[in-house]
Structure 1
Amino acid sequence: MRYLLFVPIFIFTVLCSSDKAAGQAFRNHTTVREIGGNIGLFINDRQVPPFAYMSYLGESRYFREMADSGLEIFCLLAYLGDRGINSTSGIGPFRPSFWKGIGQYDFSVIRDEFDKLVRVKEDAKVIIRVHLDPPIWWERQNPSEVCRLPSGESYRVSFSSKKWRHDAGDALLALLDWVRASDYNRNLIGIHVAAGGTEEWFFHYKDRFYDESPARKADFRNWLQARYHHDAAALRKAWNDPGVSFETALPADLSGTTKRNTIRKKGDNPRLDDTFDYHRGLMPGHIAYFSRLVKEASQGQLLTGAFYGYHLFVHDPRRGHGSLAELLKCPDLDYLSSPNDYRRETGIDWLPMAAIRSVQLHGKLWLAENDTRTSLTTLLREKAPHIVPDGDWYDKGVWIGPKDLFTSQELIWKNAGRMLAYGYGGWWFDMWGGWFSDEGIRSAIRATNRLYQQYTTDNRAQNHVYRPEVAVVVDEKLQFYDDTYGGITGRLAGNRVPLGQAGTSFDMYLRSDLDSLKKERYKLIWYLDIQDLSAEEQQTVKSLMARTGYSVITDHLGSSVYKKEQPVSRLAGRVRWTPEQLREIFQKADVHIFSAADDVVYAGQGWLMVHLAEAGRREIVLPSEWTLMNVKDSTAVPFTGKRLLIEGRKGETFLYKADR
């Protein structure tokens, strides 16, 4: 009975506070800006290190550990829905839903989490990750707005639903009103808009994708009318179907039941092409919509961000990633994120899942989700058994950390080295809590913050002692023509692993940014499955080849090597390269190789990091005489020379500040 009385009182308070909120601005102005060739994060015109802390099971003691480690920014959670974020694993919800009915909200769980944090760090700056999937009651009230399986059963919200987007938008605005009218206004700096599978804007499905809902049919038909300018004859001609109309057209089957081992040519199946074009536009459209709501409601004061653009790691076109180029044009979005590559081995480059050089070119900040497992990582069932699904999904594989603290600390340093050398930020994602509760790990986190402040913040004259000499151009849309539903695309994208072991740094671009490479001077450009070039793209590639020492073109049949514009060799069947093969072609192009031992090397922004693939001694060859300061050892004497000798254990990380 006490609960029944409490909810209406709380809801009444929230509704009445909206008048107060309307007359009160958000106190913090947070934005991203280009500065010295990098994208920086600014709070109230003060540049701050773009590093944060987050935990699904946030506890005060872990907040305190991170505050004591120098972190200023913390990520908190808010959920519209009342089910777990992973519809495949069946995990339970991390938090109760705050959306209790249309126009009815209970923000007490968010209030409690704010209180837990500000008791530890009163001036903490907060980004709220808001998961926008609806609760079960909403789906029951709106049966036409949920995915329909061929059996007629429902399966989560349909992301074709405009009603979901409208109602979820109202709930998001109510949350913003509540924070604006509260004492937590002084803490809030941004909103991370999230939805879909694992909060990462993936369509919900298990083995086969189905959505036969009225919402999807209606939205697809509206999309077709816009695409063909309301000209039914143009639709019939494009689809080569005299009987189709805007009133009867249906999306093609994307279930994945039928697969072919080929890359489909654009136009071979125009109905399928249109369906994928529609499908891939949904998630970035939602991200842009909710980001705009946040910007408008905050009058541009709040930061906005989202997970998106996983084309290097998620190759299944049904998942919904593949329109990063379009999303980068969104003026209301400030940052993008992904976890690091989930091949979480020592001696492997855990690169972001997107072409982050393109992200940065478009003025967006990249924030890595450093959910780095450590030897302190516990199983979810030990921390929150009530949400663990049946089976062993969360008991094996990627959920298990390294066996020792030394390796754990070195992996954190590797995360730090990549962020510093490639000019981006991230949050330390302590999923179940306690993963970073070691002084050695926290000292690395503390140092990352300090080093950024010391060498990057307000440093307009960036130290360009070395810039990557290799550019890699990828096509995020290839997956939509891959009739294996990602198999061929995945083999090509797998070149990211040997690339990270080739002993030098590289920049990764989207195909849509080909023209921007004209402003750079790379010694080698690798075109990784760029097919069906337009006349304009062909001219751009020809121009780039003429001024680039070597070019490599790799498709699903093999690779071709060019010196300037002249073909050198055709390597039939070489779809996947080895680190040694890459070093060989890099050396022909006069690309500098720091290490020839398959080590991970990050060089850029005035930083040099070497992560050993195997134990032993190394001679690290420098491009010229450099002065290196070992930032992991405060007692180290600076080294000056052209050849650096190091010795270490497997997985050990060496990080240096570099000058000439």
Structure 2
Amino acid sequence: MRRITQLLITGLAAGLTVFVGSRMTFSGYAEEPAPCPAPVRFMGYHSYLRDLTTLKEFGALGIDVVTFFPANTLSSVGVPYSPYPPIWIGPGMHRLDCVDQQIHDILEANPRAKIILEIDLNTPVWWPRWLGAAADRDDSFTKLGKVAAHPGWRQDTREYLQTLLKHLEANYSERIIAYVLVGGMTLEWQDMARGEESAVRRKAWRDWMIAQGLPDPVDIPPASVREHVTHGLFRDPVADRQSILYWKFNADLIADTILFYAKAAQEVIRHRVPVGVYYGYWLEHAAGRLLYEGHLGFEKVLNSPDVDFFLAPGSYFDRQIGGASGFMVCLASIRHHRKGFVHEIDHRTHTAKSVTLLGRPVPGHESGFPDEQSTIAGLRREFALGLINGTALWWFDMFGHWYDGAAVRQALAEMASLWQRFSPIQTRSVSEVAVFVDSESFYYLDGHASIYNDLLSRQRFGLARMGAPYDIYVFSDLATVDLSQYKMVIFPNLFVVDDEKINLLSEKVFKDHRTVVWIHSPGIIWNGRCDPDGVEKLTGLPVGAQEITVKDFSTWRSVLAPKSNLSGATLREIAQKAGVHIYCEEDQVCYVNSHFIAFHTARPGEWQLRLREPCSRVMELFSGQEVGHNVQQITCRADGPNTFLYLLEK
């Protein structure tokens, strides 16, 4: 029997939740065992609506993991998130019968349901208005940073959270398999206050500075100071020090708020099931967002034992049919820290376009899938992306009608069957390209500069069309990541360096004949001062070059790209010279791991996928067709929008 067959796990539990002892893993990567309890890599269903018919129909497809959100707040499109009454209706007043009713309805529609519950930690409508309290209170949905340090909000919300969790654990522990703590704009811990002052934020800022051993700043820096940039794109470590410190504080504040509630949750559930948050959108938040919205505190949350997994929708920047989709987070670091990730598939389908809220289409429909064929190809792409990258996933039927139509439902049923068969396989990354993103450097960069878009958000376009897989880490993980599989390492934003970073790079990266790719102005902030000569000191290449320049050292190659957002063709050329295996020679989308390769296109045509080594047998899983035996090259033929998913038997 072939090795791949031996890896298949038989005797799976009903539906798509697989229990292995009492442990839960969100990762299908063998080298990253999971730290927390419950089901293996679930495929789930999520909706804000009370659509019990659709919920029942998804159960009939074999999708038994159900996420629901008993909300206390309005959504960003001005309508309630939930059709059920709110639970938290006043000071110390909790209508727990409302959550009971929601769980009752779910179990009536699908008696096999395993539940993931999103807990709303935003300020309810009454909280900032109660007894004229608006003088020192604000709405956390729109102005999270202005209220995050408010002791009253934290105390009241902690009481609500723990009251709800005690009720749920006492009555539904056999059904609930995970909790998600949500807050801020669109429930994703996004702070839209842009650093604005409030009394509690000012106090928190002063306390934070004193805790760092720095002078009491007395006041929050005004906007003219917060936004000041001395050297064009870059802040000066001395002249702009207050601004740099303030944005670090801002990120710390949001991270600390998340961890305050995560700790409160764990005091009740005691790590019985995993706790997750939507957070860490470094690859998505670009100009005007990443510096300001608080997600730069991701590493602090990543390192906390109280948070077990992260969630994010697929990228909004490349999700059209034919696009590469992709993740908003540094997924390789999440795996490295043995945390889980849920890929939320909320992509606008051709039937979702019919949904209007307050007379307007649901935002995002412009890049939605235009027809049934595109919808099926797009959903298959997202499925393949999650399967190959070792994530959990759920189909987000946001405000209903996302997955209407017999053909779409049949496609979902087929994917549910494939998930049940293949998600338990322990796979591994075969990436030979690693990308390391430096959070420290973002504080020194003009938060509104368009280069923000090119360094990470748009750079995913080229990376995804390079023809080879890649892993994205946070720079702070460089010391502990095993680099032996990587022939090429990219630093897209390493503007800030010091002796410690230089020593780490010398020890870990500048060796084994590895190719190192630097973007824009690496090392321009050198040991605490702005120094353009730092670029040459770091890379060995002169600053000011207008084109890509290369220098070979005895143990490594340095490649400096002065312009960000390298194309797929450019990256492919650099990667080929570095000895990286290229699976696809054209600017098309493919995903690869040790056991699967997927290919996605929007147009008719024929393309070749070249494998690293011959496979004893290759199967295309969506069609069920055998490609052949002893295969090293696969021909993909498409008559229009399509996604192919191949199982590689070694």
Change (3 A) 1:479 1:337: same
Q: Which residue of 2 aligns with 1:516?
A: 480
**Equivalent position to 2:262, from 291, 294, 310:** 291
Q: Which residue of 2 aligns with 1:595?
A: 584
Q: Which residue of 2 aligns with 1:472?
A: 435
Supply the AA of the counterpart residue of 1:550: T
Change (3 A) 1:154 1:127: closer
Whether the 8 Å CA contact 1:524–1:591 is kept in 2: the answer is: yes
Whether the 8 Å CA contact 1:600–1:612 is kept in 2: the answer is: yes
C-alpha distance in structure 1 between counterparts of 2:407 and 2:630, whole Å: 28
- 1:580-591 equivalent positions in 2, closer than 5 A: 580-591=569-580
Whether the 8 Å CA contact 2:627–2:634 is kept in 1: the answer is: no
C-alpha distance in structure 1 between counterparts of 2:439 and 2:145, whole Å: 27
Question: Match of 1:541, SS?
Answer: helix
C-alpha distance in structure 2 between counterparts of 1:127 and 1:564, whole Å: 52
C-alpha distance in structure 2 between counterparts of 1:289 and 1:605, whole Å: 39
**Equivalent position to 2:283, from 307, 312, 320:** 312
For the pair 1:62 / 2:32, whether they are aligned, the reply is: no
CA deviation string 1:459-512 (max 9, x = no partner): 5xx455x70111111123433222243532222112111110111111111111
- 1:521-532 equivalent positions in 2, closer than 5 A: 521-532=485-496
Runs of at least 5 residues in structure 1 that lack an aligned partner in the other structure: 1-27, 229-233, 236-244
**Equivalent position to 1:401, from 341, 348, 368:** 368
Count of aligned pairs: 593
Q: Which residue of 2 aligns with 1:116?
A: 105
C-alpha distance in structure 1 between counterparts of 2:408 and 2:354, whole Å: 19
Question: Match of 2:128, SS?
Answer: helix
Supply the AA of the counterpart residue of 1:146: R
Residue 355 (structure 1) shift: 0.8
Residue 523 (structure 1) shift: 1.2
Q: Which residue of 1 aligns with 2:153?
A: 164
Supply the AA of the counterpart residue of 1:220: W
For the pair 1:249 / 2:237, whether they are aligned, the reply is: no
**Equivalent position to 2:185, from 191, 197, 201:** 197
Change (3 A) 1:145 1:305: farther
For the pair 1:339 / 2:313, whether they are aligned, the reply is: yes
Whether the 8 Å CA contact 1:335–1:365 is kept in 2: the answer is: yes
RMSD between aligned alpha carbons? 2.9
For the pair 1:629 / 2:585, whether they are aligned, the reply is: no
Whether the 8 Å CA contact 2:48–2:81 is kept in 1: the answer is: no
- 1:120-199 equivalent positions in 2, closer than 5 A: 120-141=109-130, 142-147=133-138, 158-182=147-171, 184-199=172-187
Question: Match of 1:402, SS?
Answer: coil
**Equivalent position to 1:578, from 567, 579, 582:** 567
C-alpha distance in structure 2 between counterparts of 1:265 and 1:440, whole Å: 57
Q: Which residue of 2 aligns with 1:239?
A: none
C-alpha distance in structure 1 between counterparts of 2:440 and 2:59, whole Å: 41
Q: Which residue of 2 aligns with 1:50?
A: 42
**Equivalent position to 2:394, from 409, 427, 430:** 427
Q: Which residue of 2 aligns with 1:221?
A: 206
- In the superposition, the TM-score normalised over structure 2's length comes to 0.84
For the pair 1:555 / 2:526, whether they are aligned, the reply is: no
Change (3 A) 1:398 1:30: farther
Question: Match of 1:509, SS?
Answer: strand
C-alpha distance in structure 1 between counterparts of 2:390 and 2:190, whole Å: 27
CA deviation string 1:366-401 (max 9, x = no partner): 1111112211214442xxx4xx2x7x4x45644663
Bigger shift: residues 579-588 or 626-635: 626-635
C-alpha distance in structure 1 between counterparts of 2:22 and 2:610, whole Å: 45
C-alpha distance in structure 2 between counterparts of 1:278 and 1:77, whole Å: 30
Q: Which residue of 2 aligns with 1:37?
A: 31
Supply the AA of the counterpart residue of 1:349: A
Change (3 A) 1:33 1:374: closer
For the pair 1:327 / 2:298, whether they are aligned, the reply is: no
Whether the 8 Å CA contact 2:588–2:601 is kept in 1: the answer is: yes
Bigger shift: residues 259-268 or 408-417: 259-268
C-alpha distance in structure 1 between counterparts of 2:341 and 2:475, whole Å: 18
C-alpha distance in structure 1 between counterparts of 2:414 and 2:183, whole Å: 33
Q: Which residue of 2 aligns with 1:4?
A: none
Whether the 8 Å CA contact 1:145–1:164 is kept in 2: the answer is: no
C-alpha distance in structure 2 between counterparts of 1:338 and 1:254, whole Å: 33
C-alpha distance in structure 1 between counterparts of 2:643 and 2:375, whole Å: 11
- 1:310-459 equivalent positions in 2, closer than 5 A: 310-315=281-286, 316=289, 317-343=291-317, 344-381=319-356, 385=357, 388=358, 392=360, 394=361, 397-398=364-365, 401-457=368-424, 459=425
* Sequence identity (%): 22
C-alpha distance in structure 2 between counterparts of 1:155 and 1:330, whole Å: 21
Whether the 8 Å CA contact 1:145–1:157 is kept in 2: the answer is: no
CA deviation string 1:15-49 (max 9, x = no partner): xxxxxxxxxxxxx97744877224559765xx533
Question: Match of 1:498, SS?
Answer: helix
C-alpha distance in structure 2 between counterparts of 1:332 and 1:659, whole Å: 38
Bigger shift: residues 136-145 or 617-626: 136-145
C-alpha distance in structure 1 between counterparts of 2:479 and 2:227, whole Å: 38
Residue 168 (structure 1) shift: 0.7
Question: Match of 2:341, SS?
Answer: strand
**Equivalent position to 1:103, from 92, 97, 105:** 92
Change (3 A) 1:600 1:155: closer
C-alpha distance in structure 1 between counterparts of 2:237 and 2:503, whole Å: 20
Residue 108 (structure 1) shift: 3.5
C-alpha distance in structure 1 between counterparts of 2:468 and 2:145, whole Å: 45
Whether the 8 Å CA contact 1:523–1:591 is kept in 2: the answer is: yes
CA deviation string 1:279-311 (max 9, x = no partner): 001222122121122221012213200000001
Residue 451 (structure 1) shift: 3.4
Whether the 8 Å CA contact 1:283–1:321 is kept in 2: the answer is: yes
C-alpha distance in structure 1 between counterparts of 2:143 and 2:597, whole Å: 52
Change (3 A) 1:322 1:650: farther
Whether the 8 Å CA contact 1:553–1:560 is kept in 2: the answer is: no
Q: Which residue of 2 aligns with 1:9?
A: none
Question: Match of 1:283, SS?
Answer: helix
Residue 324 (structure 1) shift: 1.4
Residue 351 (structure 1) shift: 1.0
Residue 415 (structure 1) shift: 0.8
Question: Match of 1:628, SS?
Answer: strand
For the pair 1:489 / 2:452, whether they are aligned, the reply is: yes
C-alpha distance in structure 1 between counterparts of 2:137 and 2:412, whole Å: 43
CA deviation string 1:248-291 (max 9, x = no partner): 23345389776774122434322112211110012221221211
Question: Match of 1:643, SS?
Answer: strand
Runs of at least 5 residues in structure 2 that lack an aligned partner in the other structure: 1-20, 522-543
Supply the AA of the counterpart residue of 1:657: L
- 1:64-83 equivalent positions in 2, closer than 5 A: 64-79=56-71, 81-82=72-73
- In the superposition, the TM-score normalised over structure 1's length comes to 0.83
Q: Which residue of 2 aligns with 1:300?
A: 271
